[in-house]
Amino acid sequence: MSANDHLKNLAASSNGTECDDPKYFLSKELYFYIPLVYGLPTIVLYVHIIYVILRAKRYSTLRIAFYRLYAIMSIIITVMWVWDMTTTRFIAIGYFCHELLANYGNKSYALAPLQFVMTYSRHSQFYIATVLSVNRMTAVMFPSRYEDIWERNFLPIVASVFILPIPTTWYLLPTQALLARYPMGGLTLTYVKLLPNPWNSAPFYHLCNYLLDNYVFWVCTCIKQIFIDIIFVFSAWSMIFFCAGIRVAIRDLYVKQPDDIPRSIVTVTPRKSTISVVA
């Protein structure tokens, strides 16, 4: 399919809907602002978790492989959340839609990295979550060999987390991306492939388009995102409630402990004692 054919199909599916169509405006506002309310404090918590794990020197328990892997996952989740809120949810509302279309409504290579990062971070999050599950399994099944297994192979395992998503996302870099009208109003970030993706399941994609209309597809997307958000929130806050090491490390960033408070130095001068011996 050529680039012009792709854009014609997208415009046809919009059925003339304007990007600031008020029909679904409220539902899309809720889709953005509700996650923003619980997402911002959760992101702040993720940043604190990343910080205390990466700087952990005197907290020996935070230096094991599990916590370092969790810090990597927290970085990926933070990037994924920021990209999702800006390049998906915010532009879908329809704010400044005509201005954005005027500036970014033409095919350009400039927006391709946004599409790539959004998809690449999701795939990376899947792999790092799988690695964390395997890490916990080895801690239970091979407790005596746990440290040897993960310390010896830590760097190759981390490298695989960032290498494995490349075969399923590389085709997004050499693309022409643009903002286009979404069938239910608002904008969406779309792209025109210049190179085929051998990993893409085209029959499944066309089957979904055939079976689901725009509204049902949007509802399914919302349900999927609800599950993603539940995992996003539960993961960070469960670390605070159930992990004393993380909780204490974050507390110590703001509350001075008695051992850290400088104490005044008291000098005691011994006196000579006089002992009288009575004969």
Instruction: Tell me which H or E stretch contains 179.
Output: strand 175-181
Residue 120: per-residue pLDDT: 93
The domain limits of the chain are: 3-257
pLDDT of 277 above 50:
no
Residue 172: per-residue pLDDT: 87
Q: How far is Cα 74 from Cα 128, in angstroms, rounded to an integer?
A: 10
Mean pLDDT of 115-142: 92
Q: Answer whether 93's CB lies under 8 Å from 110's CB.
A: no
Percent of the chain with pLDDT over 90: 32
C-beta neighbour count of 179 within 10 angstroms:
23
Nearest to 80 by CA among 238, 199, 231, 205: 231
CATH number, domain 3-257: 1.20.1070
Is residue 223 very low, low, confident or very high in pLDDT (cuts 50, 70, 90)?
confident
Q: How far is Cα 9 from Cα 82, in angstroms, rounded to an integer?
A: 29
* Residue 247, both tokens: 């909780």
Q: Answer whether 92's CB lies under 8 Å from 31's CB.
A: yes
Q: How far is Cα 214 from Cα 98, in angstroms, rounded to an integer?
A: 22
pLDDT of 70 above 80:
yes
Q: pLDDT of 246-266, one tens digit each? A: 998 899 888 876 655 454 434
pLDDT of 245 above 50:
yes
pTM of the model: 0.77
Residues 6+ apart with CB under 8 A from 51: 253
Identify the top-confidence range among 41-45, 58-62, 205-209.
Answer: 41-45
Is residue 199 very low, low, confident or very high in pLDDT (cuts 50, 70, 90)?
low
Residue 21: per-residue pLDDT: 67
Tokens 């209309």 correspond to: 213
Q: pLDDT of 84-100, one tens digit each? A: 898 888 888 888 888 88
Is residue 72 very low, low, confident or very high in pLDDT (cuts 50, 70, 90)?
very high
pLDDT of 204 above 60:
no
Nearest to 87 by CA among 114, 116, 47: 114
Residues 6+ apart with CB under 8 A from 176: 3, 107, 108, 109, 112, 191, 192, 194
Is residue 73 very low, low, confident or very high in pLDDT (cuts 50, 70, 90)?
very high
